[in-house]
Amino acid sequence: MNLALLSLLAAMPILVIGVLLVGFRWSARNGMAVGFVVVIVIAWGVWDVEPIAIAASVVEGLGISLDILYIVFGALLLLATLTASGAMASIRAAFTRVSPDRRVQAVIIAWLFGSFIEGASGFGTPAAVAAPLLLALGFPAMAAVMCGLIIQSTPVTFGALGTPIIIGVNAGLEGTAAEAAITADGGTLAGYLGEVALAAATVHGIVGLLIPLFMVSLLTRFFGPNKRFSDGFAIWPFALFAAAAMIVPYWLTAWLLGPEFPSLFGGLIGLAIVITATRKGFLQPKEPWDFAPRKDWLSDWMGSLEPDQAAPRQVIGTARAWAPYGVLAAILVITRIPEIGLQSVLQGVNPTWSNIFGVEGVNAGFQFLYLPGFVFLVAVLASYPLHRMKGSEIAASWKTAGKQIVKAAPAILIAVPLVRIFINSGAEFSTGDLASMPLTLAEGAAAATGTAWPAIATFVGGLGAFAAGSNTISNIMFAQFQFATAEGIGASTVPIVAAQAVGGAAGNMLTVHNVVAAAATVGLVGREGDLMRKVAIPCLYYLFTAGFISYLIVWGPGLNVGTIGLALLAILALAVILKARQERREPLPSHRDTDADH
């Protein structure tokens, strides 16, 4: 069977899921169920994966699902707890005092606070934190999740203290011909990782500069009372300022300190700069922008959770209201810095089933003290005395969170086992000799593109993250392949391996279980396809732009794929800007066809 046909068959589970979720707007549960059947049929019938290996992969996936559900439940419970105690009412009021403008609030919470949480924790946690917080501030549920997912891009390569680089790329290259080539040139793998981190930070810095503006423009276009991009573009000076406030310290940290702290320091420093500037009115819009009255919102904007608008039982001071989030951030940081010593202790508590059903290398563990879910629970427990909660309020919060996690569980319990079958399809798990489905897909793409590969390398990273649900796993799967492909076309390996890391970060926007998990935190279970349609726009922008920039880094400027690609993107951006200016000049009609976006 030739490589092109094998590549098409390997892509079939992903194509089926994409068409059902995005094209037909199926729920993730139903779409993933069909994809699950397809991947089993192809793994068994074409890749000759042994049934026992398929069964072991399913169990492995269920174990990973438990990790994800643990994190999501913690996020849901924290939101429910802060709502029941009255703390969320104080947080909402505090953000309104910083700025009543919803665009500004989205940038501060999703982009800056989200980047900090990504740097500390990673693994989809920022969306699970930002989305319910935005919901509680009065955002439509769909808008809250969209914002939380869009920022799952620039900070992700350095999420969880650099895990996608120091674990992902490192594990993908360690002990391979790639490491041998690096040492043969007089280098070390550790030094090479530093070069990849800086190259990735450079590309992220250029592409990520527009992410806050993208986010607020989509926010106003999809959820604004006038459905206009121009309402988002109107705060372009503030959006670019907020982007730079995060990206400059982010890049400097990658240059000076390496891959562990760019997102953490970038988000924290940017948060301090932007909140201070916002309070002083710097670059603030003259007229605050807000959503239409809630009664005018489309029904599909909201899920089963709504912010509690009732007067709280008690008024909690802003510092005390924010304290659980402070606990959350502090513990995440303390437990992620190896030198402190807690990380290894917590990771050591890990009940594990090794070599499931006797299949070598397929394992399931549960680091319940190290996962962010445990940190969420600690923050919840801290809330009880801090906010002087009653027993009835505590019970109500657990009941609320319990109902929500039950709704989210089916999609995640199907999605992750599907991914593990997809990944565990190589020769070591089968009676055949084919490379795994992800590697086959990548090999097909490389064979089709030749020297244009640097422009495509980001898409392979994105595909890996979409399929595996993790930038780290994507880098483990494809780092060696990207290195070898770069050598094969006579290109420098660093920018292409960096493109892999950047693409893997961007792919997190559309990772199915990230979308499902974030949607669950605001009660949008079953609406994942609608979310993915919206988030696909910034995801494609990120992958294309980063790919063209990577091409120019590798081959230099000239009349080539990179230059032409960036020129076309610039023309498209200019067209959108002109359209926005035209919108600003047009009088607003008295009635809008709100069904247009259904």
Residue 336's pLDDT band, with cuts at 50, 70 and 90, is: confident
Burial string for 549-580 (b: 16+ CB within 10 Å, else e) reads: bbbbbbbeeeebbbbebbeeeeeeeeeeeeeb
Determine what percent of the chain is predicted with pLDDT higher than 70: 96
pLDDT in tens, 550-566: 999 999 999 999 999 99
Say yes or no to pLDDT of 118 above 70.
Answer: yes
20 belongs to a structural domain: yes
pLDDT at position 242 is 98
Global pTM value:
0.85
Interacting residues of 33 by C-beta distance below 8 A, sequence separation 6+: 414
pLDDT at position 360 is 93
User: What is the C-alpha separation between 120 and 123, in angstroms, rounded?
Assistant: 10
pLDDT at position 596 is 45
pLDDT at position 311 is 59
Report which residue type is found at 459.
F
Residue 245's pLDDT band, with cuts at 50, 70 and 90, is: very high
Could you tell me how many helices (H) and strands (E) the chain has, helices first? 27, 2
What's the mean pLDDT in 283-298? 91
User: What is the C-alpha separation between 256 and 194, in angstroms, rounded?
Assistant: 10
Please tell me which residue, 323 or 95, carries the higher pLDDT value. 323
pLDDT at position 351 is 95
pLDDT in tens, 484-513: 899 889 999 999 999 999 999 999 999 887
User: What is the C-alpha separation between 505 and 156, in angstroms, rounded?
Assistant: 5
pLDDT at position 312 is 67
pLDDT at position 275 is 94
pLDDT at position 278 is 96
121 belongs to a structural domain: yes
- Arithmetic mean of pLDDT over the chain: 89
Least confident of 7-16, 209-218, 307-316, 514-523: 307-316
User: What is the C-alpha separation between 424 and 439, in angstroms, rounded?
Assistant: 11
Give Cα 312 to chain centroid, integer Å. 33
Say yes or no to pLDDT of 592 above 80.
Answer: no
What's the mean pLDDT in 19-25? 85
What's the mean pLDDT in 392-409? 88
Q: Please state, as a whole number, how many other Cβ atoms lie within 10 Å of the Cβ of residue 427.
A: 14
302 belongs to a structural domain: yes
pLDDT at position 104 is 96
501 belongs to a structural domain: yes
Give the number of domains in the chain: 1
User: What is the C-alpha separation between 350 and 507, in angstroms, rounded?
Assistant: 29
Angle subtended at Cα 20 by Cα 447 and Cα 511, rounded to the nearest 5 degrees: 65
pLDDT at position 589 is 58
Please tell me which residue, 308 or 361, carries the higher pLDDT value. 361
Residue 594's pLDDT band, with cuts at 50, 70 and 90, is: very low
Among 335-344, 422-431, 506-515, top mean pLDDT goes to: 422-431
> Which among 343, 381, 386 is positioned nearest to 87, based on CA atoms?
386
Instruction: Give strand ranges (E) for 18-143.
Output: none
pLDDT at position 593 is 46
Say yes or no to pLDDT of 17 above 90.
Answer: no
Q: What are the DSSP calls for 364-375, one per residue? A: EE--TTTSHHHH
List the beta bridge partners of residue 15: none
Residue 76's pLDDT band, with cuts at 50, 70 and 90, is: confident
Say yes or no to pLDDT of 419 above 90.
Answer: no
Residue 309's pLDDT band, with cuts at 50, 70 and 90, is: low
Among 47-56, 65-74, 173-182, top mean pLDDT goes to: 47-56
Containing 353, the helix (H) or strand (E) segment is strand 352-353
13 belongs to a structural domain: yes
pLDDT in tens, 425-478: 999 999 999 999 988 988 898 888 999 999 999 999 998 888 777 898 889 888
Please tell me which residue, 37 or 329, carries the higher pLDDT value. 37
> Which among 461, 542, 574 is positioned nearest to 150, based on CA atoms?
542
Say yes or no to pLDDT of 161 above 70.
Answer: yes
pLDDT at position 123 is 66
Half-sphere exposure of 353 (CA within 13 A, CB side): 14
Counting Cβ atoms within 10 Å, is residue 315 exposed (0-12), middle (13-18) or buried (19+)? exposed
Report which residue type is found at 405.
I
Residue 310's pLDDT band, with cuts at 50, 70 and 90, is: low
Residue span of the structural domain in which 47 resides:
3-587
User: What is the C-alpha separation between 11 and 422, in angstroms, rounded?
Assistant: 10
Identify whether the C-beta of residue 182 lies closer than 8 Å to the C-beta of residue 188. yes
- C-alpha distances (whole Å) from 200 to each of 149, 250, 547 are 20, 11, 12
Q: Is 118 left (phi over 0), alpha (psi -120 to 50) or beta?
A: alpha
pLDDT at position 7 is 93
Least confident of 4-13, 39-48, 205-214, 403-412: 403-412
